[in-house]
Chains A and B, each alone.
Chain A
């Protein structure tokens, strides 16, 4: 609780973090004999950029999968907006305002960028199939409203030129951006990003950082970020959780985490110091 008024350190916005959106308490998740997550607790506050870091296999992606209801932890509780959550299907998590991107791009390959983004609006569209088949009045109006919302996302991410391109023809960096767009089209409260900058060159990473920070600043979206690029993590996140072998080994501001001896030993490495 001492960190309640922790200010943003990275980009100097100096905005105090809000109240707790999501509270994870003593979560444990096993696959057979493998303990992927072992008694992890942390919280996510309104409007912050929360990074989860750790070596490969530390349980970061599993943690995201737990948050959006894809895995169900054997132990522990998750409280979302003050309500303890029981077993939840992924589409219920989506309906409650949680969106995510994937470590390996999970776009719908056969569809255009526009259609991919439109799928993000799916939960806000309600006309049934008979209206759709007629494509008159309400169904058409609904489609246009959501097209309008999607076009705003397209402008935001600067992907106007490729809106009619099938995503499987796009280069990797743009696919990552489109995937972010699909998540943003849902207008989430909580956005989970699983390695949004993996495999990108410096310019692409800079662009992506800008989009993540803009999302956080302009749209007020709370962001949970898994990332391996330490420079990026230390620059853009407000608070960092460090996992190792499924356990939490550190939690705090980037500066605190960077100074933590256990983190240095476990993750940033003793042999080389690319962390700073």
Chain B
């Protein structure tokens, strides 16, 4: 009933191919963006922005990057954090070398650098598939982490080995460094995420997305139809790494402020991979749902006992949080292996008919 598209006639292929062909979807998305843009900055506290919403947005972007590669093009990768590290370190290099450079341009350039690195580490995918490719991308993770640790040029020969974002302005507002408010950083992250999500959606609904999915679903048939597997896979690696690189740059500039190479460790790679798997492979919405699940749920679980008036010892509470979190991951994967996005899809199909049985 709620999702019934009866009466919404499409008179052109353009309307039928639109990003959100159903009016209800358009309203929901518009409402979400409006709330994120207008209401949230007023209502949310500094803590809420800094600890929840900013990392949620940035990790969503990284999850989109990995989802393009793993969910759409079918190439398993464990090197997400390494490509994010390239973004982070290059953002640091760019912004210290060219202090006048707009931070958005810095993000873009960092993403391009990460895309180049991703391209190189994507070359093994031409020969190997599946778990073996995952191991090969693991090499990227260790090699790049080691490089950023050992080559002082990357952290400007700073004795502590950390990279710190210097104060940066954009249109007269502090956007980088310790003086930038959480609200400003939140707005920038939101802007970048919205723009890049629209671009990703455009990619996956067009020829490029179809070529990725064709390679994923049946590579031999794809080749016989005329797709070139090498170019297709390498483009997937490059674009995926671009997204991860931008996310990594924002992770440093908008969230952490200062970091060592440890910030982009393999745990982050796994975290993003879990987001993609729990959210739903091959779904952009799933990337957001997965990021929300991984970022928000632990925070909710931490605060849940207090909310019901329960005071627990801090270590017991931490253990319970981990156990419940793990249990929920297993539960959701059993209920719907194709992720939260698939659950939403099923709900939508039910809503179309509700309250009638069919």
Contact = CB atoms under 8 A, between A and B. Distances in A.
Interface string A107-145: 111110001001110110101010011110001100110
A102 interface: yes
A230 interface: no
A144 B207 contact: no
B214 A108 contact: yes
Nearest to A111: B213
Given A109-B217, A110-B216, A135-B202, A186 B208 contact: no
Interface in A81-126: 89-91, 93-95, 99-100, 102, 106-111, 115, 118-120, 122-123, 125
Interface string B190-234: 000000000110110011101101101110111111111000000
A70 interface: yes
Nearest to A168: B217
B147 interface: no
Top 4 closest A-B pairs, CB basis?
A94-B226, A106-B221, A108-B217, A135-B202
B224 A68 contact: yes
Contact of A144 (B13, B211, B226): B13
B202 A122 contact: no
Interface of A: 68, 70, 89-91, 93-95, 99-100, 102, 106-111, 115, 118-120, 122-123, 125, 127, 129, 132-135, 139-140, 143-144, 147-148, 151, 182, 186
B221 A102 contact: yes
A147 to B, nearest CB: 4
Secondary structure at the B interface, as helix, strand, loop or mixed, is: helix
A100 B228 CA distance: 16
Nearest to A109: B217
B36 to A, nearest CB: 22
B213 A108 contact: yes
Contacts of A68: 224
Given A94-B224, A106-B220, 18 more contacts: A70-B224, A89-B223, A91-B228, A94-B225, A106-B221, A110-B282, A115-B213, A118-B210, A119-B225, A122-B210, A122-B225, A122-B226, A125-B207, A132-B206, A132-B207, A143-B17, A143-B206, A147-B13
A119 B206 contact: no
Contacts of A115: 210, 213
Which one of A90, A99, A109, A118 has the greatest number of beta carbons of chain B within 10 Å?
A: A90
B278 interface: no
A151 to B, nearest CB: 7
B14 interface: yes
Contacts of A93: 224
Contact of A107 (B14, B218, B239): B218
Contact of A111 (B14, B217, B224): B217
A151 B13 contact: yes
B235 A122 contact: no
22 contacts: A89-B223, A90-B224, A90-B226, A91-B224, A91-B226, A91-B227, A95-B226, A108-B213, A108-B214, A108-B221, A110-B216, A115-B210, A118-B207, A118-B210, A119-B210, A119-B211, A119-B225, A129-B235, A135-B202, A143-B17, A144-B13, A147-B13
